[in-house]
Chain A
Amino acid sequence: MDIINCSDNDLDSIGNSLSLSHDEMLLIRNYFIKLNRNPTDIELQAIAQTWSEHSCYKSSKFYLKKYLSNLRNERTILAMEDDAGVVKFDDEHVYVIKMESHNHPSAVEPYGGAATGVGGIIRDILCMGAQPIALIDSLYLGDPENKSGFLSERFIINGVIAGIRDYGNRLGIPNVSGSLYFHRNYNTSPLVNAGCIGIAKKDKIVRSRVQKAGDILILYGGRTGRDGIHGVNFASKILDLNNNENRNAVQLGNPIVEEPLIHATLELNDMNLITGMKDLGGGGLSSAVTEMLSAANLGGTINLDYVLLKDENMLPWEIWISESQERMLISCDEKNLTKIKEVFDKWNIEFSVIGRAEHKKNLEIYYKNEKIFDITLEFLTTTPVYQRPYKKPKKNCDSEPFNDNDIAKSIISVISSLNVCSRAPLVRQYDHTVRGATIVRPLTGLPNMETHSDASIIKPLEDSFAGIAVTSGSKPLLCSIDPYCGTMESLIEAYKNIIVTGSEPDAIVDSLNFGNPENEETMYSFVETLKAIRDFTERFNMQLVSGNVSFYNKNVNDIMPTPNIMMTGIIDDIRNAITTEFKNENSLIYLIGSINGSLAGTVYSDIKNIKCYKYKKSNLNELFDVYEIIKNNRERILSAHDVSDGGLISTLIEMSIGNNIGFNVNLNEIKMGLENKLFSEHGTAIVIEVPAEFEDIFNKKGIKLGYTCKNINVNDGNRNIFSSSIDDISNIWNSGLSKYL
């Protein structure tokens, strides 16, 4: 391709085909004018891959650096550096966490897109040298009744879930936590955020970089094929769903290639044979080799003839940027090659030595005895950075007064709504007990009658009772009204989910899903989100250790700002974990912390179509008080559940379902409108159950709502609001999703 001499128009059309802008094409042209030659296909493709939004974060990097740099604490080992964050677990062990979106592939090919999202996130954890121990996924899906998209919503929903199920179950990594959220705003543009946690001895962590010049590079696992060509490029622009090429950009997953890959990789690492490691994800070899070499300030030589292929007719540039799955790249000392081969042979894993790191500035690539690539890594990795402009949107429409004259009916609508009802039809398709280390499961209580947990707890080590609690979710409706406050409330909810289990909040991972960054209002919501994450992390002395940004999520309009927050906590002894279901009749029920009262961005206002945008910030100091109360009274608390989706009434009903124990409460002491106290989802409030003997202690700490009993009865002063048997309400709560899954 002649880019040195071609017209500006031709230059732009080349740029277009590679998702590169005019200015970016000019930079490339200038570089090659200095070299006095045109780029080869593979060079141009490699630049396009490295400079894509997906790979280099050109729209977000400036703001990420400004707001999210250095949010570390004394437990942080690696934050925002390698493929995943690394946090201290105990004196000898660390845990590794990461969450990533796989939105664009899932929109085009829901099953494959979601499955490879799981495969990719597991390799991100694996390449740090850690044993993957838990999967987490947060899904934001469209209205299941929508049939007008390129794919019907029902097809997307079931495809995504099946993809996650089939990949995770086959690998035997328990899927323990996450969230499931439906809204018409995600029609045709699903968000699939997959997270993973791993555990490792602290001296076994492997960096995502070559250690020294002379090290050889070994590519192993699945073969390289034409699947997943241009994956990063299509994820870096708005999807054109009628473009058939998009389907080729989605990778094909094969979990049974990945499963032995995990064993072999960990075995090699145990034997100290790996000096650096990266998984092959977006951008394929191009991304992995470039990043591993440039992070070490080295150059290198690659010979593409040695890459094992699915299809011998692949062009060299296709080999270089293919995103075929289940592949890993390690650097190692050549003298260990025999030992490495033995491990691969045991696990029937194919591998080849594809090149070597060297003391030089350039990366050179050979193919069929010809040098086809020779550019400096400095040019390749000095990626564009944009300080995208942003502006605050015009004010939301004004709130309008409303009148709810059938509260009991509204309670039923909220309980049966898609965003509140039982997740069991989904959760039971995922193997969440494999590895035998899931101590608090996503469902808790009497078998086959369970209710929702807040955070799940994993016990990663045989010889320690310490556990990792994990939760994940977001509040997109509130984020779309006020991105700062919506993000803050998402963080508050995650924090509450962790503390109600009796765990100590530890680390945050963000997966930021937004629309078009060239849209200034979308960029505003992005920047506000970052500010909230920074403010919260600093306020609670937590750590932000890894994350990802996904832009260009759009159907007719940009999707709602969806900052998905994954949070972990540490519990010193999993035997003391608190679960959500009521344990005994005649216990006392307390509200600790306070309900925000705002109905902005709630399930209630959404399903009742109430225009309600007023929101007052929750008090973070009070959240800290709630934390202290649980921490200091852990052994006195029988059960605890946070007030979130569906409000206080949903919290109480969920607590009663898991163990068939009802409640009799009076909401009189909560000073706000009845709808607000029942349905507001924001704020610092949690509900706890304590034995009656501790009444004096807890009377000073919160509002006594009532006691546990056989049936469900809710009063507000003298007025009876709602009564039901547990069976009736449980049937309603359990039936919400089964129609669609």
Chain B
Amino acid sequence: MDSKRAMVLRMEGTNNEEEAFLSLKRSGFDPDYVHINELVKRQKFIDDYNLIFIPGGFSAGDYIRAGAIFAARLRPFLNDIRSFIDSGRFIIGVCNGFQVLTELGLFFDGERKIALTVNESNRFECRYTYIKLSTKKVFYDLGNEPMQVPVAHLEGRVFGDENTIKKLIENDQILFKYVDNNGKYAGYPWNPNGSIMNIAGITNDAGNVIGMMPHPERVYYQFQMSGIERKLKNGTGERFFNLLYKYTK
């Protein structure tokens, strides 16, 4: 059993699953679409996978807090998810997936301490920006260069009280920060949502629960990038998913 199985978890309104599936596959994973109903009916099991990827979208329409309903439907499986995390395997949520993980409180041992709230611009923001690695817990091979990534969300502004943010910094839980094309911290539109400290993604203390708003799965290849980055050897996604594969046990 050499293959690394990746679960691409979905429910109605999940809609970024295809590019997630393909990106995982391109980097060597053996991906599998799993509908939440298949977990409920016990046709598929969390423990059978080496990695869980919760893609973006508008699960259940996000008519109430984004990700809240998906999280509620996952809650019966919380024990399975906890043992999955405790075993050191990666669970990664992008965009709506990040919102789901936040709702489940998986970044703070079950406590829902941060929120992903409505963008400061008060509108859906679909644009390209740049991120830079911040933590030393994971993805250290990415280096310190700014990487081009697309964002597309209405609720992506990381928000938490002073203590929570302090703890995030102390624990080195900030995964990515938004920067401009020169790698400098800058305001809107480079930080597209007004996140505190330009936070684009975070991890749990152990570094294996990963949540981020930007979409590396949309820019796997350089020809999916914008501007001069189209001439690079590979896209941000390829670097990201190859590392994810490397780190996955």
Contact = CB atoms under 8 A, between A and B. Distances in A.
B182 to A, nearest CB: 11
B99 interface: no
A439 B237 CA distance: 15
Interface stretch (B101-109, B201-209, B221-229): B221-229
B89 to A, nearest CB: 25
A256 B226 contact: no
Nearest to B58: A170
Contacts of B127: 428, 447-448
List the 10 closest A-B pairs by CB distance, nearest first: A172-B15, A436-B19, A447-B128, A256-B61, A436-B218, A446-B227, A170-B58, A260-B12, A431-B152, A433-B150
Interface in B126-168: 126-130, 148, 150, 152
A255 interface: yes
A178 interface: no
A721 interface: no
Given A256-B60, A347-B35, A434-B56, 18 more contacts: A165-B124, A169-B58, A169-B124, A172-B58, A255-B13, A256-B13, A259-B12, A259-B15, A346-B37, A431-B126, A432-B126, A433-B215, A435-B16, A436-B18, A436-B224, A446-B181, A446-B226, A448-B127
A259 B10 CA distance: 12
Contacts of A431: 124, 126, 152
A222 to B, nearest CB: 13
Contacts of B224: 436, 438-439
Contacts of A448: 127-129, 189-190
A348 interface: yes
Contact of A433 (B37, B126, B189): B126
A256 B64 CA distance: 13
A445 B230 CA distance: 10
Which one of A172, A260, A345, A575 has the highest number of Cβ atoms from chain B below 10 Å of its Cβ? A172
A436 B217 contact: yes
B175 interface: no
Which one of B23, B150, B227, B237 has the highest number of Cβ atoms from chain A below 10 Å of its Cβ? B227
A170 B13 contact: yes
A429 B12 contact: no
Interface of B: 12-13, 15-16, 18-19, 22-23, 35, 37-38, 56-58, 60-62, 123-130, 148, 150, 152, 181, 189-190, 215, 217-220, 223-224, 226-228, 237
Interface of A: 165, 169-172, 254-256, 259-260, 345-348, 427-439, 441, 444-448, 450, 459, 462, 574-575, 581, 658-659
Contacts of B125: 428
A450 B226 contact: yes
Contacts of A429: 123-124, 126
Contacts of B62: 170
A259 B15 CA distance: 8
A435 B19 contact: yes
B35 A171 contact: no
Contacts of B237: 436
Which one of A346, A434, A575, A581 has the highest number of Cβ atoms from chain B below 10 Å of its Cβ? A434
Which one of A170, A439, A450, A462 has the highest number of Cβ atoms from chain B below 10 Å of its Cβ? A170
B12 A447 contact: no
A660 B8 CA distance: 40
Nearest to A579: B230
A444 B128 CA distance: 10
Contact of B223 (A430, A432, A574): A574
A575 B223 contact: yes
B13 A259 contact: yes
Nearest to B235: A436
Contacts of B220: 436
A435 B12 CA distance: 16
Which one of A346, A436, A445, A462 has the highest number of Cβ atoms from chain B below 10 Å of its Cβ? A436
A435 B126 CA distance: 13
19 contacts: A169-B124, A170-B62, A256-B61, A259-B13, A348-B37, A427-B126, A430-B126, A433-B218, A436-B19, A436-B218, A446-B226, A447-B129, A447-B148, A447-B226, A448-B128, A448-B129, A459-B223, A462-B22, A658-B227
Which one of B12, B126, B189 has the highest number of Cβ atoms from chain A below 10 Å of its Cβ? B126
Contact of B226 (A259, A427, A445): A445
A212 to B, nearest CB: 33
Contacts of A445: 226-227
A171 B15 CA distance: 6
A659 B22 CA distance: 31
B12 A347 contact: yes
B43 to A, nearest CB: 9
A516 to B, nearest CB: 37
Nearest to A257: B12
A165 B19 CA distance: 21
A437 B218 CA distance: 7
Contacts of A439: 223-224
Contacts of B37: 345-348
A435 B150 CA distance: 12
A431 B215 CA distance: 12
A263 B66 CA distance: 22
A435 B219 CA distance: 10
B181 A447 contact: yes
B16 A659 contact: no
Given A436-B22, A436-B217, A255 B126 contact: no
Contacts of B190: 448
Nearest to B95: A434
A254 B60 CA distance: 10
A462 to B, nearest CB: 6
Contacts of A450: 226-227
A428 B126 contact: yes
